[in-house]
Amino acid sequence: MWSLAVASPHPAAAFAAARPRRRPRPAAAPSHRGVNPQRWRCEKTQAWSFWSSLRASDLPGGLYGDVSKNMLKPAAVEQAEASAHLPKGDMWSVHKFGGTCMGTSQRIQNVADIILRDPSERKLVVVSAMSKVTDMMYNLVNKAQSRDDSYITALDEVFEKHMAAAKDLLGGEDLARFLSQLHADVSNLKAMLRAICIAGHATESFSDFVVGHGEIWSAQLLSFAIKKSGTPCSWMDTREVLVVNPTGSNQVDPDYLESEKRLEKWFARLPAETIIATGFIASTPENIPTTLKRDGSDFSAAIIGSLVKAGQVTIWTDVDGVFSADPRKVSEAVILSTLSYQEAWEMSYFGANVLHPRTIIPVMKYNIPIVIRNMFNISAPGTMICQQPANESGDLEACVKAFATIDKLSLVNVEGTGMAGVPGTASAIFGAVKDVGANVIMISQASSEHSVCFAVPEKEVAAVSAALHVRFREALSAGRLSKVEVIHNCSILAAVGLKMASTPGVSATLFDALAKANINVRAIAQGCSEYNITVVLKQEDCVRALRAAHSRFFLSKTTLAVGIIGPGLIGRTLLNQLKDQAAVLKENMNIDLRVMGITGSRTMVLSDTGIDLAHWKEQLQTEAEPANLDKFVDHLSENQLFPNRVLVDCTADTTVASHYYDWLKKGIHVITPNKKANSGPLDKYLKLRTLQRASYTHYFYEATVGAGLPIISTLRGLLETGDKILRIEGIFSGTLSYIFNNFEGTRTFSDVVSEAKEAGYTEPDPRDDLSGTDVARKVIILARESGLKLELSDIPVRSLVPEALRSCSTADEYMQKLPSFDQDWARESKDAEAAGEVLRYVGVVDVVNKEGQVELRRYKKDHPFAQLSGSDNIIAFTTSRYKEQPLIVRGPGAGAEVTAGGVFSDILRLASYLGAPS
């Protein structure tokens, strides 16, 4: 079972400590009167009427002989004389233990201990059969029906299972009594199954009668186990008490009045304080054995809880309570401490295995709280389902309690202008749907009335579509309806919460979370009951949608699946920074970054849950597979665990950059220090930016200019606040800055270039720096950011690569040959020095004249550009607001740590755009 998590503590959260406790009476006295111990009178027992209720016509002629007499004598009859005086004043505490809880003798003993620890004066415990027994019993009937003799050995197994449990649990007289009853039951069942085998058929009531023994034995075992400790305890065969009417389709309706009467009679005979009742089984008004069908023992507990007006019904299971979302899909799902009846109801409708709505109805009538608890983790307080006061806080998180999903649906869209204002269209549509017996999960119609869409289970959609085509044949051919369209492979995501719709912002937050995870919503429904908002989406997006919505409302971690392309200098430095900072981000900012893949140009490593960043290098050597960018991207985008995906391109590769458009289109965010996309062909750049602006997918590239320095963000800030950029001028190359800052005196030009390369300032190929191309790219990036439509080829560049070295085939060859030009550089530098000047390689974006320049210029020694050191960049923005004195950003503009830091801060910016605290 999984259930729901709680967003904020509710007064009822303290329930665990005081459980079970008195429940305030509902304001209006319920019309249905409960069992009143004062009114119980001793009446002549009717118990045997049930046991003789198997109709003669149901039994194969004569074979059963005296079956009813041989059956275990009901506890009611057996113990009728042993009536203690009735306790007064306190309410019943009703418990229900399912098959898993009653799975072994040890577990039955644990159940007994739980009951004994319950301080309530009156306890009524509903039990299922020991685990697997119900299936074993159905199997007996099936075998007998198909005339398979092995039902005999199968019945022996059932016998042995219970005998073994009894021997473990009981001793002395109790054991002997249980075993003799068990033996008698099994002999009767053997005779009955033999009859079924001969007839080759069992009626439903025969089958229900056989199967019900599982509950009878488990109730007896538990009652003996409790009695062993000296506490008086009776067992109740609920077939004597619960009366239900079959309502077709595997459902029954309890007859509360008749059940109450019978319960009173039962208590009149047996006014016990601790009662173990059989779950699942009941009888018809004609005393024919039946079961509660699919609603099972939970329903038994709820009906009995309502009959005795219990103080509380505790459903014991093997999970800690109701989760905020399916924990198999959302690892951060939390246990809800409280849920209203309506919320629990909605959740179970939307697929959460909380409690069947029918289980909630009987107890809801009397405001009886249901508590779901884990029998294997008694310390967990569980989830209390009760009537909750309206949430007055207006707090979004408190409004949305939980999320649930339903898969394998199809959306049917009936569309056409002929529907608007025509009464009866909806009735015709849903009449056709009803005729094929399909179950409509949700309906949505926009007020234009031009289309009605609804969701049905995938397996029913073909019949629905065919029926609609037949029903609307004329309207379709006359054009009054344009189409009956089926959209396959859909899922529903439902946000559930009592006070959602009256709190502004809930749906905005939900849809924003979905939009940011690039999830397309196909249809929406929200009733005015305000309990849920339902969205239909593509099934493949459903888990991501669930996670995105859950993390937004529950302030759980903003999770981000990261793919790193190019673990070179910047890539590996970034990976190190991520490793060092991950715990802090989780702790302080609720951001959970998972590197799901790292790819170089030859090999790649992928992970479903996140690569261990302390060992990625070894993994890339030992566990790697051949690099394949498509597979890498698919791996990231198909991961269901993390709704938000980002690719970080740390290469300098043009081909990698050419994929950004497709990635953004897939909803994958892109972050990069690679300048190729933004300085490549203008049309592609514009297409990329247009897509980015139109979508919720982000593309950040701060490190492409000035590395970690805030250049792009400063420019954006100026533009977005309405400033007008006139000119951007500066030293944009860390490498060239370093070279001209350090190339003085006796040092050779080639030595300083080698130092810059060693320091990690240069591009993978240092000729990109020396040729001025890198600066030109940055000028283009800033020019385009400022609105100029320039191509790289529009920028005249003075290359510092000597003509003779331009044809070098590799960077290494270039570096080797560079010293032969040191003389030329020494001369140029000396000339400048003689004039009291320095050489500086500058870039200019002249927005006024719509052009860019890249030049080697000489500046006086007192010019700000002459004051730099190391790999400093300096960028001066002259704008309408910063006209007299430009706005200047200065600092190291190249190097592994600062560049990786710039990329990292883009990742965090993305996380904050996705909802992480800023």
Ligand X SMILES: NC(=O)C1=CN([C@@H]2O[C@H](COP(=O)(O)OP(=O)(O)OC[C@H]3O[C@@H](n4cnc5c(N)ncnc54)[C@H](O)[C@@H]3O)[C@@H](O)[C@H]2O)C=CC1
Range in contact with ligand X (rule: CB under 6 A) among 90-98, 679-687, 757-765, 861-869: 757-765
At a CB cut-off of 8 Å and minimum separation 6, what does 265 contact?
A: 43, 45, 46
Nearer to ligand LTNE7NMQ by Cβ, of 460 and 774: the residue is 774
- Residue 757 to residue 742: CA distance in whole angstroms: 13
305 is in the binding site of which of ligand LTNE7NMQ, ligand X, Na ion, none (Cβ under 5 to 8 A by kind)? none
| Minimum distance of ligand X from residue 570's CB (angstroms) | 3
**Closest residue to bound Na ion by CB:** 706
Tell me which residue has tokens 């960077």.
Answer: 811
Backbone angles phi, psi at 445, to 5 degrees: -135, 125
Nearer to Na ion by Cβ, of 453 and 703: the residue is 703
Looking at 377-486, list the stretches that DSSP marks H as alpha helix, in order from N- to C-terminal side. 396-399, 425-435, 461-471, 473-477
Decide if residue 311 touches ligand X (CB under 6 A). no
Q: Which of 311, 730, 760, 901 binds ligand X (CB under 6 A)?
A: 760
Structure tokens at 197: 């085998």
Decide if residue 569 touches ligand X (CB under 6 A). yes
709 is in the binding site of which of ligand LTNE7NMQ, Na ion, ligand X, none (Cβ under 5 to 8 A by kind)? Na ion
Strand partners, 413: 453, 485
Decide if residue 761 touches ligand LTNE7NMQ (CB under 6 A). yes
25-30: Cβ within 8 A, 24+ apart: 26/366, 26/367, 30/365, 30/366
- Residue 460 to residue 469: CA distance in whole angstroms: 15
| Minimum distance of Na ion from residue 672's CB (angstroms) | 12
| Minimum distance of ligand LTNE7NMQ from residue 734's CB (angstroms) | 4
Q: How many CA atoms lie within 13 A of 57 on its CB side?
A: 2
| Minimum distance of Na ion from residue 708's CB (angstroms) | 6
Q: Which of 50, 749, 761, 904 binds ligand X (CB under 6 A)?
A: 761
| H-run or E-run covering 815 | helix 811-817
Query: Kindly report the CA angle at 606 between 603 and 611, in degrees rounded to 5?
Result: 115
Decide if residue 381 touches ligand LTNE7NMQ (CB under 6 A). no
Decide if residue 893 touches ligand LTNE7NMQ (CB under 6 A). yes
Decide if residue 894 touches ligand LTNE7NMQ (CB under 6 A). yes
User: Pairing state of beta strands 837-846 and 725-731?
Assistant: antiparallel
Decide if residue 324 touches ligand LTNE7NMQ (CB under 6 A). no
Nearer to ligand LTNE7NMQ by Cβ, of 208 and 763: the residue is 763
207 is in the binding site of which of Na ion, ligand LTNE7NMQ, ligand X, none (Cβ under 5 to 8 A by kind)? none
| Minimum distance of ligand X from residue 892's CB (angstroms) | 9
Decide if residue 592 touches ligand LTNE7NMQ (CB under 6 A). no
Nearer to Na ion by Cβ, of 128 and 692: the residue is 692
Q: Which residues from 779-798 bind ligand X, rule CB under 6 A?
A: none
Three-class DSSP category at 637: helix
Q: How many CB atoms lie within 10 A of CB 632?
A: 22
Nearer to ligand LTNE7NMQ by Cβ, of 372 and 656: the residue is 656
Catalytic residue from among 293, 538, 778, 850: 778
Decide if residue 674 touches ligand X (CB under 6 A). yes
Q: Which residues from 675-734 bind ligand LTNE7NMQ, rule CB under 6 A?
A: 707, 733-734
Q: How many CB atoms lie within 10 A of CB 812?
A: 10
| 415, 451 contact by CB (below 8 A) | yes
Decide if residue 769 touches ligand LTNE7NMQ (CB under 6 A). yes
Range in contact with ligand X (rule: CB under 6 A) among 15-23, 255-263, 367-375, 596-604: 596-604
Strand partners, 380: none
Q: Is the dihedral of CA 611, 571, 684, 626 positive or negative?
A: negative
| 154, 185 contact by CB (below 8 A) | no
| Minimum distance of ligand X from residue 769's CB (angstroms) | 9
Nearer to ligand LTNE7NMQ by Cβ, of 388 and 733: the residue is 733
List the 402-415 sheet strands across, edge first. Answer: 442-445, 451-457, 402-415, 483-496, 532-538, 521-526
Cβ density class 167-182: b for 16+ within 10 Å, e for less: ebbbeeebbeebbebb
Q: Which of 128, 207, 465, 762 binds ligand LTNE7NMQ (CB under 6 A)?
A: 762
711 is in the binding site of which of Na ion, ligand LTNE7NMQ, ligand X, none (Cβ under 5 to 8 A by kind)? Na ion
Report the helix count and the strand count for the chain, using DSSP H and E.
34, 30
Nearer to Na ion by Cβ, of 702 and 763: the residue is 702
Nearer to ligand X by Cβ, of 497 and 567: the residue is 567
Q: Which of 94, 308, 560, 565 binds ligand X (CB under 6 A)?
A: 565
- Residue 411 to residue 331: CA distance in whole angstroms: 29
Nearer to ligand LTNE7NMQ by Cβ, of 416 and 843: the residue is 843
| 362, 254 contact by CB (below 8 A) | yes
| Minimum distance of ligand LTNE7NMQ from residue 413's CB (angstroms) | 51
> x/- contact string, 510-549, with ligand X (CB under 6 A)?
----------------------------------------
List the 851-860 sheet strands across, edge first. Answer: 851-860, 837-846, 725-731, 872-879, 887-892
198-201: Cβ within 8 A, 24+ apart: 198/60, 198/63, 199/60, 200/145, 200/146, 200/147, 201/145
Q: Which residues from 180-239 bind ligand X, rule CB under 6 A?
A: none
| 161, 248 contact by CB (below 8 A) | no
778 a catalytic residue: yes
**Closest residue to bound ligand LTNE7NMQ by CB:** 735
Strand partners, 412: 454, 486
| Minimum distance of ligand LTNE7NMQ from residue 856's CB (angstroms) | 15
- Residue 137 to residue 155: CA distance in whole angstroms: 8
At a CB cut-off of 8 Å and minimum separation 6, what does 230 contact?
A: none
Decide if residue 707 touches ligand X (CB under 6 A). yes
- Residue 400 to residue 550: CA distance in whole angstroms: 9
Backbone angles phi, psi at 508, to 5 degrees: -60, -45
CA 522 vs CA 418, 444, 537: distances in Å? 23, 11, 5
Q: Which residues from 633-652 bind ligand X, rule CB under 6 A?
A: 650-652
Decide if residue 735 touches ligand LTNE7NMQ (CB under 6 A). yes
Nearer to ligand X by Cβ, of 669 and 675: the residue is 675
739 is in the binding site of which of ligand X, Na ion, ligand LTNE7NMQ, none (Cβ under 5 to 8 A by kind)? none
- Size of site (CB under 6 A) for ligand LTNE7NMQ: 11
357: DSSP letter: H
**Residues in the site for Na ion, rule: CB under 5 A?**
702, 706, 709, 711
Q: How many residues does the chain have?
A: 918
Q: Which residues from 718-747 bind ligand X, rule CB under 6 A?
A: 734
238 is in the binding site of which of ligand LTNE7NMQ, ligand X, Na ion, none (Cβ under 5 to 8 A by kind)? none
Q: Which residues from 478-497 bind ligand LTNE7NMQ, rule CB under 6 A?
A: none
Range in contact with ligand X (rule: CB under 6 A) among 419-427, 483-491, 559-567, 796-804: 559-567
352: DSSP letter: -
| Minimum distance of ligand X from residue 904's CB (angstroms) | 13
Q: Contact residues for ligand LTNE7NMQ (CB under 6 A)?
A: 707, 733-735, 761-763, 769, 774, 893-894
Q: Which residues does the annotation mark as catalytic?
A: 778
Q: Contact residues for ligand X (CB under 6 A)?
A: 565-571, 599-601, 650-653, 655-656, 673-675, 703, 707, 734, 760-761, 763-764, 894-895, 899
